[in-house]
Chains A and B, each alone.
Chain A
């Protein structure tokens, strides 16, 4: 069966520090991969999605970037964190674009 992992589960970082959040999927090949940010009372906002290695689409201009160095690995990064980057970050995968998405456990990021 397929599983999705995210780490770390929680992270506290100072303003201006770099960020790297990792997501890996097991049990499937060539998944579509997604990064979301969830803000309280505002649902989930799509940040990036990827249909294949090295293929990244950005939905929201911001201080973050994403990379997909391997088929089942998706990384969310920042060179310098802002206070506004605090939030709950979710990774998800799907077999097909438009199909149901399967979500990871999330990373709670607090920028201080």
Chain B
């Protein structure tokens, strides 16, 4: 099974700052890639996904992620965060099952 590494455990930002969360997985082959988000008090929900095609994918709420196959990476970005982006973010990789990273808590200060 894949091992999924998220580079940061906790990120603290001010509003309007840019956000980048790193995600690497352990080995190649055909994979589907996901970022999930859990806002305080809410269900885990899909932020964006990559199955094939353009390696730059756009998701909800202004988020995007770039798949770099040679680096086994799928990093999440947002150019300008808002207070409402405070949440926990999970990277996940599917080969024969869905494997999650440990999550990154993002705190945006107003």
Q: Hey, which chain B residues are within 8 Å of A49, CB to CB? A: 97
- Stretch of B39-47, B63-71, B74-82 with 4 or more beta carbons under 8 angstroms from chain A: B39-47
Q: SS class of chain B's interface: helix, strand, loop or mixed?
A: strand
Q: Are A105 and B100 in contact (CB under 8 A)?
A: no
Q: Are A43 and B46 in contact (CB under 8 A)?
A: no
- With CB as the reference atom, state the residue of chain B lying closest to A45: B100
Of the four ranges (under 10, 10 to 19, 20 to 34, 35 or more), the interface on chain A belongs to 10 to 19
Task: Determine the distance from Cα of A104 to Cα of B36 in the docked complex, in whole angstroms.
Answer: 13
| B9 close to chain A: CB less than 8 A | yes
Q: Are B103 and A43 in contact (CB under 8 A)?
A: yes
Of the four ranges (under 10, 10 to 19, 20 to 34, 35 or more), the interface on chain B belongs to 20 to 34
Q: Are A43 and B43 in contact (CB under 8 A)?
A: no
What is the total of A-B residue contacts with beta carbons within 8 Å?
A: 37
Q: Hey, which chain B residues are within 8 Å of A7, CB to CB? A: none
| B107 close to chain A: CB less than 8 A | no
Q: How far is the CB of A71 from chain B (nearest CB, A)?
A: 21
| A61 close to chain B: CB less than 8 A | no
- With CB as the reference atom, state the residue of chain A lying closest to B41: A105
Q: How far is the CB of B107 from chain A (nearest CB, A)?
A: 15
With known contacts A41-B103, A103-B45, A105-B43, A46–B98 Cβ distance under 8 A: yes
Task: Determine the distance from Cα of A86 to Cα of B10 in the docked complex, in whole angstroms.
Answer: 24
Q: How far is the CB of A25 from chain B (nearest CB, A)?
A: 13
Q: Which of B55-110 contact A (CB under 8 A)?
A: 90, 92, 94, 97-103
User: 1/0 per position for A54-94, CB-CB distance to B under 8 A?
Assistant: 00000100000000000000000000000000000010000
Residues on A facing B (Cβ under 8 Å): 34, 41-46, 49, 59, 90, 98-106
